[in-house]
Structures are given as C-alpha cells and as structure tokens.
Structure 1
Amino acid sequence: MTSERVLRAAAVLVALAAVVDPAFLRSTQVRPTVVVAHATASDRDLAARVAATLESTFAISRQDIAGAAAYVLAGSDVPEGWRPPREAVVFAVTSGPGVGVRVLDLKVPVQVSIDSVAPVEATVSIDGSGDREVTVALLIDGLRLQEVKARVTGEDTRVTVPLTFVPARPGLARVRVEASATGRGIAVADAVLDVTARVWRVLVFDGRPTYAATFVRRALETDSRFHVTTRIVTSRASAVQTGPAPVSLTDTRALDAFDLVVVGAADALGAGEAASLERYLRERHGAVILLPEGTDDPVLFRLTGQEAWQEDRRAEPVRIDGGDGFTASEFFWPARWPPLVTPLATFGQAAPSAVRKFPVWQMPVGSGRVVVSSALDAWRGRASAAIGFSAFWRSTAAAVANATPPLVSVTLARRVLLPGQLTEVGVLTFSGGAPTARMRATSGAVSAVRLWPSPSPAARAVFDWQSEFRAPDMPGRYQLEVTTEGGASGAAELLVVGADGDADAWVAPASDGDGLAAMAASAHRGGVVPEGQLSALPAQLAAALKTAPVQQPWRPMRSVWWLIPFAACAAGEWWLRRRRGQR
C-alpha cells in the first residue's frame, strides 16, 4: 500500500506542477543573428566557408533579415542595394593573395550599331611569378566567338586583352569573358551591350528641283540605315514624291514622324513652312538640313536668326575637309555668325580670310539642330570626289538624325535583373493620351504594365510617364513594349538572369583590393579579416558585439520529458493495484 501511495503522490505532483507551470530566472548567453552575404557568384564559396565557421557560435542567416546584429560580407564588394542598419556591426572577409585567375575589369561600349565592330577589353589578374600563360575566351549569349592567349612574365600579375566581335542581332547581348590558366581555376565576368538597328526616317523636301538636294538625297538612298521619303515641287500644280510624303511642310503631324528633314530651295517656301520647321525643331527636338540656293530665303533667316548674308565666289575650287574631302567655289556666309555654331566641315588650307567661316555648320534651335551648307556648289565636285561628298553627307545625316529622340522612348533603370528584382521604367512620348505598356516574353506570354504620369514636369510637348515592376521568375529575354494612342511605339529589352548558384548566374568583375566591403566594415565598428585568418573571425565578431548574459524565464514543466515520469508513476501504481486484485 505504501508503494502505491508514493507512486500516486508522485504522479499527482507532476500533474499539479504542469498545471501551475512555475517559472524560474536563469542567465543565458543569446546567440546573435549574423547575416553572411556576398555580392557576386565568384564569392559564393567563400561565403559558404564563412557561414560554416560562424554557425557554432552565432545564428546564421544567408539572407538579409530585420534585426540582424551583424553582417559579414564575403569578398570585396557589397550586394546591390544593400543598406545595413546604423547600429549593426559589419565585417569583411577578403580573398587571400593566392586567388589564381581573376577578371578585374571588363569594358564594353554602352551601345553599338548592328553589323559594326564592337570592341571588348578584359583586364585579367593571375598570381605567381615567372612566365605564365592565360587564355581569355569571349562568349556572346553563350556562344564562344574568340579565344586569345596572353603571356605574363616576371613579377607582373595583370594583362589587358583586347577582343572584338560583330553583333548580328539587335537587342541586348550578354558578353561573358572566361579566363583560365594551367593549374588554376576559371574566372568569368559578365557585361551587357545594347545593339541597335535603328532606321532613320528622312524627308527630303524640295521647293523646286535642285542639284544640291538631289545629290544629297541620292547619297542617303544608297545607305540602308536611311528610309528616304521625297517630295519635289515641280510647279504650282504638280509635284513628284516617293512614299507618304506630306504635301506641305506645314503638316506638323506628318513632320513629327521623321527623324531628319532635308530642305532644298527653301527660298521657294514661305513663312508658314518656316514656322512649322521651327516648331519641329523646338518641340519635336528634330533635325533639319538646309541646302540654300538664293539670298531671299525665309526659312534660312528664321531658323538661323540671321537676315544679312554675303556671297563669296572663288576663282578656283577650294578643298573642304569633311569625310574624304570635296571641293566648292561658291559660298554663302552670314554677315554675323550666330552663337553656338559648331563646324561640321572646314577648309583644307586655313587662311586668314577663312577665320570663323565654315562650309558646313550646325547650330541648336531649342532642343533641335539645324545644319546649314554654306558651300552652294559642292555638288559640282562630286565627280572627282564622289566618295568624299557622299560619305560626308551620310555621316552628317546619321549623326544629326540619331540625336533626334524617337516618338516613344523607353528607359529602364536596370537592364539586367534577377528573378523578382524591382526596377523603374521611364517613358517619354511626343503625343498626348495615356500610353499602354506590356511585357512580352520570348515564349509569347504577355503581361500588362501600368504607367502613371511623372510628378516632375517634362519639356514642352513632351509627356513623361513612369512605372515600376518586378522581373519575371523565369530567366530569359523580355521586351517591354509601349504604344501611344496615335500608334507610335517604342520598346526596351531586358535580361533576367539566373539567381545566385544557377548555371546562368550573373558574375560581375572582381574588385582589386578591399573595395566597398572594407569601407562598410570600417564605418560600422567592424574590420577586415583575410581569408587565411578566418578562424579568428568568431572571436573578433563576439568582441565587437559585446553580448552580455541576459536573465530569461525558464519553465521546466513545459518540457515533454515530464510525461515519462508521470506515465511511469501512474502505470506503476495501476499495476500494483491490479496485482493485489484491486481496481
């Protein structure tokens, strides 16, 4: 009977203690939360080693979380958009000197035209001394196009390797450089290049048939970069035109569709055409090339602001430096040169009389550009310098037309995005009404993107819109298309790359030196720890955090292990009673 009572009492005491749930205070050491982060995929392995070193002492997170006590940055750079709390401690762990091969810099042009040569320059670092050979390969959108071997001698550790390729498709080209050497790993770096294939729409409008406008038009028509539309007024009742040319230059809506307007025999036009061209320059931000024929030219007077002009006839043709050179003997100068004039062609042999006299020149009109040919008979020398004459006008027309913004301009704050990453969008249009935007994937899937007016005012007759969206979850190429109510459209391509750890992850060039990570560490009560001294990081981090023991409540009865003695006592008391024949 005594044993039964003891077991019953013990079970009851355990049950009562569980109901009361007593609490006791005890000193405990809190494990601070430490975020281990890295900026590029090349530092991923280093970040994993840092996390393994710290996990026995601290609570480790590989993602940025609120309330983290400290940050440890693996590598020389900081993650994009990373902003540590002011009170957080930051340490940086940098790679040791024996890092093998690294791509320190990758230079590519921001934009190139299709079928043109795109220069690429890679700066590679290789450890060691003596004669070493490094192989640098150029990959465009995953396709290996070029491989160059370079030698490094003596104590040198760097080599700059020039590479080139010719883009064959418009849009974003992903440029990757792979550097490798015998006995060392492969280093990679990525960049992006915008390949354009813009065709400039050109209107050639002749007030009457002229040689100058005819031969300039023929020079542009032989270049596939130009889409030339022509209207030549042959008499008051008839005209010759190619394509949907406007009947008059006063048709402002039709004029806005062109990137460049070439005007010949403007002395046959009136004040209405001159006012329309000025509006085109100021509000459409367009470009106009004037090929004057006479002294009474209202268009020339209005666009340049100069009404007094002087004729200059030479006995012999004078060579003009522009393109491959051409000649002229009849010139037409303003009596007073307007301000902000930029010469586009100069005399081959400058003389005192040629000071401030330019055969072809350019000046701004509002946000647009007007080009004036003061060499009236330059077309006469085209037979002896056909290449120079045509090449000059093609290059000049391309330069001024390219400066004319498209009817719809779409810009992205980031062209290379990770899945789910947020980016901002800017849209400029030259027509009223709300434009519509949509995202189109290479698979054909389409999703709408909402646009809203920008709070900051744009220039006159320019409408500014903005938006933001998150990148799709599936890596690949996407096209952001914007269409206005008038039918004008524009687009921008973006590249969604794989997340860190994926095969197609984006790799930025490695930094040379401690970089931004070391600066962040010094600004946040931390320090820089070389990779070779990684074992000392836990002690340094604990000393910087200065975590003191805290009093925390301890409730022992909330442990499930108390069910074992409770069940044992209750079962033992029941077994003893059954053995004696009791219930």
Structure 2
Amino acid sequence: MTFAPALPRLLRTLAVAIVVLALLDPALPSGRHADRVVAVVAAGESPGVSGAGASWPDQVADRLAGRFTVVRGPYPGASATVLAGDHLPAALSEGSLFLPPPVFVAHPAAAGAPARPRLVHLEAPRRVSPESAIPVRAWIAPGGEPGTSLRAALRVDGVVVSDTVLRRPEGGTAPVMVRFEIVPTRSGPLPLRVEIHPAGVGDDTVPWSAADVLVHVSPRPWEVLFFEGRPSWLSTFVRRALEPDARFAVTSRTVTSPGLATQFGAPPASLASPRALDGFDAVVVGAPELLSGNDVAALQLFMEMRGGSVLLLPDREASGPHDRLTGVTAWTRGGAADPVRLTPAAEAGVERPALEARSMIWPDPLPPGAQVVAATPSGDPVIWRRPVGKGQLVVSGALDSWQFRDPETTTFEPAWRELVGEAADLAPGPLAVEWIGTHAGGGGGFGAASGVVAPGALLRFGVTLRETPAPGARVWARADLGPSGKEVEVDRLIPLWPVEVPGRFEGRFHAPAASGPHLLEIRVEGGDPWGDGTAWRHAATLPLVVLADAASPPPDDPALMEAWAASRGGTLRASDELAALEAEILRAVGAEGPSDPWHPMRSPWWILPLALLLGGEWASRRRRGLS
C-alpha cells in the first residue's frame, strides 16, 4: 500500500540527482594520459643543416614528432616550446608573443663551431638631398677561423655598386666598421642592402648575412640664417661656401653701420624674437660679441624649445653677453707661425675634411657635456659643441681659418659645409616621424626600424611634435598609404598613443601586401591647443619599401640565447645535439603526459535515463489522478 505513493518520489529524486551531478561535472581517473604537445616556433630564416632539404625548424619538428605531438607555431596549451633558429623573435621583446615555459632553443650551428661572419649594425642617413653623397656604415662581427676572408658588398636597387674584402685578424673578435659612399641617381625612397659573402664567390650566391636600410632622397634644403653684428671675414667666407650648395637655403643679414644693413632673402631684423627664428634649422652668428642680452635669450630659446642649432664664429677674443650661451669660464689663446691642422674627432675608417688656422682660442676647461669636434695635434679643443635643451651650440675658436681656404691645398669649404650641414640636420621640423621598433639581433638596419620590411609586417612609427600641445588638445593621424608617386591605395585613420616623452606619440599598422616603394603621409591636427584661437596642422611623409625578400635580422649571441632559455626553464642545444634536446624535453614534461580525467556526466546517453525517469514519474502521477 505504501509502495505506489513512494514510486513517483523515487523517480523524481533520481532525475534530480542526474541533473545535480551533471551540474557538478565530477572528474574521475581514467587511466589514460593526454598527449605531450610541443610547439616548434621558427626563430629566423635559418636554412637546413647537414645537407637536408628541409628548413631547420622543419628538421627539428620532424625529429620531435616521434615522441611528442608537434604543433608548428606558438601554442598557449603546449607542454613545452622549442625555438628553432639563430635569433629570438622580435615579437618577444615587443610583448606581442607569449611562449609558455619551459622554452628550449635549437640552434642551427653545430656545437663548438665558429660563428659565421655577420652584420650587427647598419647605419645610413634617413634623408639626403639629391646633390649629397650617401655615407653607409656597416659593423661586421668577423666570426670564422682566424685569417678568414670575407667580402662586404653594397647593393642599390639589386645591383652591387661597391664592395670590399676583409680578413679576420688573429685573435680579433670585435666588430669591424666598413664604410661605403655612393651618390644617389634618383629621388624618392632608395633601398640599400649590405651583404656579407665568402671572399671569391659571385654576387648571386646566398649571403652569410644581409641587412637593408632605406634612404629618402628628398630635395628639401636646410634653412640657415647668417646674422652678423658687423662685417666678419670668417662668417662671410663660410656663407660663401654654403651659398652655391643646393643643400642649403641661405638667408643673411649683415649690419654694415648703425641703421644700415645688407641682407639676402628675408631675414629677421633682430634675433630678439624667438618666433622669428622658427623657420630656420641653424643660425650662424658672426661677431658674437655684439649680441645683446635679448639676442642671447632668443637664441637660448631657439635651441631649447625649437631644437635648432646655433654656431658662433668669433674672429677675435672678446667677452660679451654671448658668454652666457657658451658657459665657458676661461679661454686659452694659442698661435703658430705656420698654419695648424685641426683634426676632426676620431672616427675609425672615416676621412673627414679639416680646417687650418694660426690664431686660435679654446675653453679651459670644456663646459660640462661638451664634445670636441676638431682639435690641434696637441689635443686643444678649438671647435666644440654642447647640447642645449633640444638643440645644440657649436663654437669655433679657429679665428683666422678663413685665410686658409685655397681649394688646391685645404678643405675649408667642404669642412664648413659638413659642419653646418650636420648641425642643421639635427633640428627637428614641426612634425617629425620615424620608424621605430625593437628588432632581433640588437643592431640597426633590420626589420621595421629600417623602413624595409616584408609584406604584412607589423610596423611601428613615432610622431614627435616640436611644440608640446597643452593638456586636452586633440591629436590624431591619418595615413595615406600608397605606391610612391601613384594614387593613394589606402586611406586609414591610425590611433596615436602618447608615450613617456611630452609631445611624442606612437602608432602601428601592418605593411601593405603590394611590394615596392610606398609613402606614409602622416597628418596631425589639433584644435586651439594653446588657447589663442588658432588651430594647427602639420604633415610629414615617411618612406617605406616592401620587399618579399627583406633581409632577416642577424643572429643573436648564442650565449645570450642560452641564458634567455635558462630563465624560462629550458636550455640551448646545437644542431648535432637534438637527441639531448629530446631527452631534456622528456625530463621537463615527464615520461607521460598529464592524466586525462573522465567526466561521466558529459555523456549524451544520460538524456535517456533522465527522460525515462521523468516520464515514469509523470505516468505514475497520472495513473493516480494527480497530474
């Protein structure tokens, strides 16, 4: 009599128990073990070793596939990760790649094998005028056995235009600097490539190491103002040395007598207004002892805020308000019966034009932070520079160097063109843009920082405003990205993110898929940032060349790679130590993979008893007339 009423309650209890267990999802040991997944990540364009046709990452993956489940590429769920290559991926230092530990490195070089010669740094100017020579400097880690010969070649548009042969000295391990110099044959983005080959092989062989760099050949001249409080022979002949050179746009004003002045171009009547100097990259001051206190204050602001360069060319020893600019506490005067050659600051492998003088002055001691530009044979700093805010001050103590300007015997004009050009080139424009980014290898001329990248590569660029906008000002950039000289291909709005330096921002995007030269047009706009009712708008271009065979970064130091792997619980193994690598991975992840738990309540077959129980409970209640 009591069994019938209890049956529906029993059926309901069992159905509820099934539902509760399904919600709890209990895990029970199954006796099975999950696969041990190892991710193999390519780290550089490393060719295969030991004559195998496959690439080095493929060889590593094939070797490990017999003991592990291998996944090509980064995998967050991997039991271990193996970097196969000779340098760390740039994405690691950029924070856009995460590799779960432990991380091992499989290096393509054999254990104990001498490192190949490699490029560690490549340097060239970002922009030059069509009339300028392009200096290219490459630093090469010799590598190889002592006495190994190698050939460094410079390619322009794929054609070798210059090369040189080097020989590793006995016991020499320090990088060697190689200098090339070429004249551009066209305007626009000009990609340059430096390659390292074994000596005696042709240009069509695969290089040991290569690096790209981009130079923008642009006709924009340097704006230089000459301002003389009285006629000065030194300032006059320096100005005449620059005027015929198309790289300089010279403006000048010379006070010939009270109330009278001769001028060329549209110079300001006075230096006392800092805004009047904003359009110039450099200001050359003759007879600086005649500068007023207001002139000195304006030049100070020109250097500190504008980032311009000021060059003082005294032709006599005299004190005045300009002493506040130099920061010199005492001068030493020197002279000689014969002209003395002023040797430029030493730079290995670089021959630079020099000045000559008989009458000279120099500071004793040099002001704090000052650097020697040219000195006498005894080391007296006759020409020197020091940073002032964003800009710099250059002072020449070669009082009578203008007397020694015979082009047959001296290099007066080339020396001053180089000195003024270097100073003017450091002055930023209203908007400065540049490629930035961390790149593997620790050298320049590689990856996004060089302006030569592979299709689809992640690019980062920096935007620097010369005048920092007020808090709350709107700053944005619009990029017109298209083939150089053609219609715009992509017009996109790129967000800019402020960084730790006031007035500096960063943006990023992916390189276009189309190979060839491109121009990135950056426009930055703001609405009334200084509260004076005016808006501002600046634009700048940044060249970019997309190449399918863009040079990969140079190999990293194996010792540094080994230390990096050790910090993540792994080790570095060479190409002939893959068996040891496999054993170390086994020890790290275990002989068996993690236990694979059994979740019985995840079986869809539980739907059947649940339905039967609920259906039985309903039928019993219906039979008793309770439904």
- TM-score w.r.t. the length of structure 1 is 0.70
Q: Structure 1 residues 550-559 or 380-389, which shifts more? A: 550-559
**Identical pairs, percent:** 28
Letter in 2 for 1:430: R
Distance 1:87 1:263 in 2: 61
The Cα of 1:534 is off from its aligned counterpart by 4.2
Q: Is 1:507 aligned to residue 525 of structure 2?
A: no
**Given that residues 483 and 490 in structure 1 are in contact (C-alpha distance below 8 angstroms), is that contact kept between their aligned partners in structure 2?**
yes
Q: What aligned pairs does 1:313-392 form with structure 2 within 5 A after superposition?
A: 319-322=339-342, 324-329=354-359, 344=373, 346=375, 360-374=383-397, 376-382=399-405, 387-392=410-415
Q: Structure 1 residues 80-89 or 103-112, which shifts more? A: 80-89
Q: Is 1:470 aligned to residue 520 of structure 2?
A: no
Decide which structure has the larger Cα Rg and report it.
1
Distance 1:41 1:479 in 2: 27
User: 1:125–1:162: structure 2 CA closer, same or farther, 3 Å change rule?
Assistant: same
Partner-residue secondary structure (3-state), 1:81: helix
User: 1:487–1:234: structure 2 CA closer, same or farther, 3 Å change rule?
Assistant: farther
Letter in 2 for 1:327: A
Q: What aligned pairs does 1:258-277 form with structure 2 within 5 A after superposition?
A: 258-266=280-288, 270-277=292-299
User: 1:109–1:418: structure 2 CA closer, same or farther, 3 Å change rule?
Assistant: closer
- Which residue pairs with 1:55 in the alignment? 65
Partner-residue secondary structure (3-state), 1:41: coil
Distance 1:310 1:50 in 2: 68
Q: Structure 1 residues 404-413 or 24-33, which shifts more? A: 24-33
**Given that residues 76 and 518 in structure 1 are in contact (C-alpha distance below 8 angstroms), is that contact kept between their aligned partners in structure 2?**
no
- Which residue pairs with 1:30 in the alignment? 34
Distance 2:101 2:363 in 1: 68
Partner-residue secondary structure (3-state), 2:424: helix
1:322-369 per-residue CA deviation (whole Å, 9 max, x = no partner) reads 25443345x78889986556555555679xxxxx7x655545544433
The Cα of 1:428 is off from its aligned counterpart by 1.6
User: 1:515–1:143: structure 2 CA closer, same or farther, 3 Å change rule?
Assistant: farther
User: 1:408–1:189: structure 2 CA closer, same or farther, 3 Å change rule?
Assistant: same
- Which residue pairs with 1:65 in the alignment? 75
User: 1:69–1:520: structure 2 CA closer, same or farther, 3 Å change rule?
Assistant: farther
User: 1:40–1:366: structure 2 CA closer, same or farther, 3 Å change rule?
Assistant: closer
Distance 2:387 2:256 in 1: 31
- Unmatched segments (≥5 aa) in structure 1: 1-22, 351-355, 499-503, 560-583
Distance 1:376 1:269 in 2: 18
1:56-83 per-residue CA deviation (whole Å, 9 max, x = no partner) reads 5433221212211111222343333348
- Which residue pairs with 2:24 in the alignment? none
Q: Is 1:230 aligned to residue 266 of structure 2?
A: no
Distance 2:289 2:306 in 1: 23
- Which residue pairs with 2:530 in the alignment? none
Partner-residue secondary structure (3-state), 2:234: helix
User: 1:248–1:104: structure 2 CA closer, same or farther, 3 Å change rule?
Assistant: same
User: 1:286–1:101: structure 2 CA closer, same or farther, 3 Å change rule?
Assistant: same
Distance 2:357 2:322 in 1: 23
The Cα of 1:381 is off from its aligned counterpart by 5.0
- Which residue pairs with 1:447 in the alignment? 491
- Which residue pairs with 2:596 in the alignment? 550
Letter in 1 for 2:101: A
Distance 1:324 1:42 in 2: 46
- Which residue pairs with 2:11 in the alignment? none
Distance 1:300 1:158 in 2: 44
Distance 2:28 2:166 in 1: 71
- TM-score w.r.t. the length of structure 2 is 0.66
- Which residue pairs with 2:225 in the alignment? 203
Number of positions where the alignment pairs a residue of Structure 1 with one of Structure 2: 514
| Corresponding residue to 1:89 among 77, 102, 108 | 102
Distance 2:407 2:552 in 1: 54
- Which residue pairs with 2:466 in the alignment? 430
CA RMSD of aligned residues (A): 5.0
User: 1:302–1:158: structure 2 CA closer, same or farther, 3 Å change rule?
Assistant: closer
- Which residue pairs with 2:119 in the alignment? 106
Partner-residue secondary structure (3-state), 2:322: helix
**Given that residues 28 and 597 in structure 2 are in contact (C-alpha distance below 8 angstroms), is that contact kept between their aligned partners in structure 1?**
no
- Which residue pairs with 1:401 in the alignment? 424
- Unmatched segments (≥5 aa) in structure 2: 1-26, 49-54, 343-352, 438-447, 526-535, 606-627
1:202-236 per-residue CA deviation (whole Å, 9 max, x = no partner) reads 11123344333211211222444322122234456
